[in-house]
Structure 1
Amino acid sequence: MAEKVDMSEEADRAVKIRNALTDKLRTDGMITSEVVERAFRTVPRHEFAPPGTPLEVAYNADDSVATKTDEHGVIISSVSAPFIQARMIEQARLGPGMSVLEIGSGGYNAALLAEVVGPAGRVISMDIDPEVTERARALLEAAGYGNAVTVVLGDAEHGVPEAAPFDAIIVTVGAWDIPLAWLEQLASDGTLVVPLRMNGITRSIAFRREADHLVSTSAEVCGFVAMQGQGEHAERVFLLPDAHGRAVKLRFDDGAPENPSLLDGVLATERTEAWSGVTVRHGVSFTDLHLWLAGFLPGFCKLAVDEGTDLANERGTWFPFGVVRGDSFAYLAVRRALEGAGVEFGARAYGAHGAEAATALVEQTQAWDRRARGGPAPTFAFWPTGSDRTRLSPGAAVFPKTHGLVTISWPATG
């Protein structure tokens, strides 16, 4: 009898925490529609988390919950953070009776989608990993959504053509490209929501058709586990060891240097600095700066550092974005603003041509400040192979992909 009481109390506590999460998502603007709010109040997220996950962890608005790791401990499947799940469902503009393809299965997000589209709608969730699909299918069945969601094993590159067209395709893994199958299976007035990687920077972008290409209607900052299968795109990582064998890692999603050996011993050179005069107050977002650098700074890369390196000891004075120029590299740095509150952006660099690398980074930071900062949000577009590219904006950042081009246009740049 005592055990039943405990289970009942736990169930009541789960409802309270779930409602508190939903209240927060609504207050923060992550949820904007009644139908999505009802879904979040209804679906028991904790039942899709690994056994033993505390309710406070399962219902944390900002954190994902890992459900599978590879042999190296890298997360390859997870229940995404509630805030981005809410935003992506809102981005998709879903309603009752719609047909949805979810790429990447965890179970919980598919259950939310089923609540949103209702009994007259249709949800298909696909994943390439049989362990993931088996788990998702079992959890959906246990939570009462076994008949509301069809779980399919397959490579996302090909979609599910036999069930097309879809009013929405929602991708819940990080994609480097947009397979043509997704375009073929998307209804003419449908929405594709995809966490798209552009030179290592990811945005959840809602795309709709415009003539022969796709144009964004919204974009959200996000991060997801990487796509597996035919659409997988591995980044290239170069290690720059210091005198103690610890390393700074340069991570290239695209445009890796042809001769990385030129950087051998670069950390032993004298460090140089350059400062931009561009400042930002504490607490003010500048995530579009990263996107600008990824689009307009050739040689752009992301950084990771081992503990014990000089950069690790200087955390708080730099950001993990940089640029390589031959035998030198620079990275985005900050220092206390000379006037007023906040910090000033700049660059620190190593190598014989470090000053040139630092200058390139600083100049693009200044260009972002002049031409994009504080203005209207950029527009993203996907131009599939065969589309009329004479219509590309001349000032757009361009990211070549296997199946086409991705462009980012800031209003001030065209």
Structure 2
Amino acid sequence: MASAPLSRTVQPETITKGITLTLQIDDAGALRQAMVAVLRDEGLITTDSVAAAMNAVPRHAFAPGEPLEKVYQTDTTLVPKIDAAGRQTSVVSASHIQAIQLEQAGVLPGMSVLEIGSGGYNAALIAELVGPTGSATTVDIDADIVDRARVGLSRAGYEQVNVVLADAEHGVPQHAPYDRIIVTVGAWDIPPAWLDQLTPTGRIVVPLRFAGITRLIAFDRSPGSLALTASNYRLGSFVPMQGGGAATEQLIAVTPNIGLRLDQQSTAAFDVPALRKALNSPPVVSWSGTPFDMPDELELFLLTSGPELPMLYAAQAAVDQGVVNRTVRNGTPALVRGGSFAYRIKRENAQTASGYETGVVAHGPEAEQIGSELLSMIRNWANSYFRRGAAHITYYPNTADTGHLLGWHATKRHGVLAVAWP
């Protein structure tokens, strides 16, 4: 168990200059309790153990110089590291994401846990959960991040955490085996080393990238099988993995402001000039009569239940100009055929349970047909799979038999990911 919270043991100027010790105790403690209360109210913290850990660990110890109010917001990332291209390569994740992962992991006292992708704060939470009889190890490929994690953990009183500089593609064999592996960077695959270092009843919580999206998945070993079966999955966004596990997606520019994103293994081909022309054709809009709710679940269904659909993205300029609907700004699955395409939209509708209705907008010479096909897929989901966790997700390492797979599956470097809708 860690020592007392930082605000009681360290001079305040080591964290935020100009704040008195009394203010540090009052503000940090109160804000931490408020953060936990919000996460409980939102159903993201569901166990007393995770609540206790997040109440105990001084999050501000890992974000020196950041305003306390920002540090203890539930949806804010901290201390990003930016590369030469302006991309984030590391952040301290938002506390709501960390709460989700810890609840998914189900860490118990005495366990050995490996965190892949460091920052310090989450490793301290894990150390609280495993207690004095357990072991917490955190690894990162970036020496700056490792140093920062070590400093933060020491400052907060968690020197017992093993902090390792290494390419996590190979795990951390010197502290294995692990009851839990918690991955805090976006991974495109599950390396064999992670499975080799996982106990026979272990669990991996990983933000896995597939079909152009990321889902935060808790995988358990299946008794008598080499496969990993998802016990649950959630929406989540993470900086991408570096090193041996890095992967890039395909980006196809239709215009300077509009593009298609696909998995790196995709073999799909697109008639870009025809799609560019379709953007200037009159839209064909139709409505499903079904509520626009749980859009992340609908998104997963559209991407993994039929033909390969790319993700359609647009810059704000294209939305402002009325070229595409605003739903495209953050990405949406698109059904594309030849020079026609369709994607989902929404509108207010007081007759639906959510107050919004799902619809489809289509462009191109086959707009009516392709729009009708996408609308049929949406209605199928609404009628048969309108619930959380409807998908069955399984990962088969290359050593497993995958000859029986018939539905949607993606071949990756080290295995095959299958998504079924029973």
On the 8 A contact 2:207/2:236 being kept in 1, the answer is yes
**Displacement of 1:152:** 1.1
2: CA distance, partners of 1:86 / 1:404: 28
1: CA distance, partners of 2:123 / 2:49: 15
**Displacement of 1:303:** 2.9
2: CA distance, partners of 1:21 / 1:240: 43
**Displacement of 1:264:** 6.0
Number of the residue aligned with 1:218: 232
On the 8 A contact 2:319/2:326 being kept in 1, the answer is no
Is 1:110 aligned to residue 110 of structure 2? no
**Displacement of 1:276:** 4.6
Identity %: 39
Structure 2, unmatched stretches of 5+, are 1-10
Is 1:68 aligned to residue 81 of structure 2? yes
1: CA distance, partners of 2:39 / 2:95: 8
| Closer/same/farther in 2, CA of residues 348 and 97 from structure 1, 3 Å limit | same
* Partner SS, residue 168 of structure 1: strand
Number of the residue aligned with 1:309: 318
| Closer/same/farther in 2, CA of residues 186 and 27 from structure 1, 3 Å limit | same
**Displacement of 1:268:** 5.0
| Closer/same/farther in 2, CA of residues 317 and 159 from structure 1, 3 Å limit | closer
Is 1:160 aligned to residue 172 of structure 2? yes
1: CA distance, partners of 2:36 / 2:55: 6
1: CA distance, partners of 2:33 / 2:409: 43
1: CA distance, partners of 2:136 / 2:181: 10
Number of the residue aligned with 1:250: 260
| Closer/same/farther in 2, CA of residues 363 and 111 from structure 1, 3 Å limit | same
2: CA distance, partners of 1:266 / 1:256: 23
Number of the residue aligned with 2:8: none
Opposite residue 61 of structure 2, the aligned amino acid is: E
Number of the residue aligned with 2:301: 292
Opposite residue 344 of structure 1, the aligned amino acid is: E
| Closer/same/farther in 2, CA of residues 77 and 310 from structure 1, 3 Å limit | closer
On the 8 A contact 2:288/2:378 being kept in 1, the answer is no
Structure 2 counterparts to residues 129-278 of structure 1, below 5 A: 129-146=142-159, 148-210=160-222, 211-241=225-255, 246-254=256-264, 255=266, 257-263=268-274, 265-266=276-277, 269-278=280-289
In structure 2, which of residues 52, 62, 67 is the aligned counterpart of residue 48 of structure 1? 62
On the 8 A contact 1:274/1:362 being kept in 2, the answer is no
Opposite residue 231 of structure 1, the aligned amino acid is: G
2: CA distance, partners of 1:80 / 1:375: 24
TM-score (norm 2): 0.87
| Closer/same/farther in 2, CA of residues 301 and 110 from structure 1, 3 Å limit | same
Opposite residue 94 of structure 1, the aligned amino acid is: V
TM-score (norm 1): 0.88
